[in-house]
Amino acid sequence: MVLTDPRIAIVGSGALGCFYGGKLLNSGLDVHFLMRNDLEHVNRAGLRIESNLNGNLALSDLSIHGDTQDIGPCDLVIIALKATDNEALKVLIPPLLKENTALLTLQNGLGNEEYLAGLFGEQRVMGGLCFVCLNRISPGVIRHIAEGRVAVGEFSGSPGPRTYDVELLFQRAGISCKVSQCLMTERWRKLVWNIPFNGLAIASEGLDTGAILSDRHLRARACSLMREVIEIARCCGHELPLSLVDEQVVLTEGMGAYRPSSVIDYAKGNEVEVEAIWGKALRMGIEAGAEVALLGALYDEICASVGSRKCKSG
């Protein structure tokens, strides 16, 4: 399958979907956004990406829809919904499919590719890991704070022509993108950051990353969690270097007072991706015989913090 000039659908047009979809659109690609909350505003005022790294980008006359039925079949579907909304994909995705449609999930955590494969066939499914700091600061306005690189890979089998086509599409849009030979290794690499910093932000009742690193005890806890996640990944067959801990600390210091997406959801009373980010990793670690005491304690704290929201037992 060739994806050199694809018709693209963005399913989930929050900060992540608007940022990457907007970049792809600006590069000249045919991009269609499924947008619900900000649809009327963006139709009227357009989409704006504010970035001190790459400069600001204003986009107007976008193809925005409230229903995937109105978008129709596409060559590439980029999924940027929260993992907590995966049930909706059963209805949202079928109108976008044709024989060779590729599904690229940019969602956080573990289990998203498996879910899509179970619904639509593993041959369609790709995954992308977005190492980026973004916030939606108002309707149709995305603030890009740091990073932006993407790692893409196939859910089943080795990278093929379409994998490298997607890499090239992102690169031509000004996005640093590399093909990963092992998608799951990259998922664990991202969890090395997501598990401690998203988690401690919730457990501390809303501290940003700068405040976490400025607190001696939270900083030490974040580093210990990163080391434990690396060891869990190794027990699950994914080798990551311990040097990643220091790299992530330096990277996070450069973010300043960044509020991770999970704590924003928590503060707004939205459902948090507890199972995708923490629960699944915890259970995989237990099954692999890894030491999971720190992750288990954090998972329990997060479940207590979100209260009545759904958390499965670890």
**Which residues are CB-neighbours of 178 under 8 A, at least 6 positions away?**
149, 150, 151, 152, 167
Choice among 82, 98, 178, 190 that is catalytic: 190
- Looking at residue 54, its pLDDT comes to 84
Residue-wise pLDDT tens digits, 121-170: 999 999 999 999 999 999 999 999 988 999 999 999 899 999 999 999 99
Instruction: Calculate the average pLDDT of the chain.
Output: 94
Would you tell me which CATH number, out of the four given (3.40.50.720, 3.40.50.700, 3.10.310.10, 1.10.1040.10), belongs to the domain 185-305? 1.10.1040.10
148 in Cβ contact with 175 (< 8 Å): yes
Based on the number of CB atoms within 10 Å of its own CB, is 237 exposed (0-12), middle (13-18) or buried (19 or more)? exposed
**Percent of the chain beyond pLDDT 70?**
97
CA distance 311 to 314: 9
Q: Name the token pair of 132.
A: 């980026």
Q: Name the token pair of 77.
A: 């579907």
Could you tell me the sign of the dihedral formed by the alpha carbons of 205, 209, 212, 218, in that order?
positive
Q: What is the DSSP letter of 308?
A: T
Is 190 a known active-site residue? yes
**Exposure of 248 in the CB half-sphere (CA atoms within 13 A):** 27
Confidence (pTM): 0.93
**Which residues are CB-neighbours of 118 under 8 A, at least 6 positions away?**
none
CA distance 127 to 80: 11
Residue-wise pLDDT tens digits, 109-122: 999 999 999 999 99
- Spell out the domain ranges in the chain: 7-181, 185-305
SS (H, E, C) 220-270: HHHHHHHHHHHHHHHHCCCCCCCHHHHHHHHHHHCCCCCCCHHHHHHHHCC
122 in Cβ contact with 52 (< 8 Å): no
Statement: residue 6 has pLDDT above 50: yes
- Taking the CB of residue 287, how many other CB atoms lie within 10 A of it? 10
Statement: residue 37 has pLDDT above 90: no
Tokens 């099954």 map to which residue? 287
Q: For the structural domain made of 7-181, what CATH number should be given?
A: 3.40.50.720
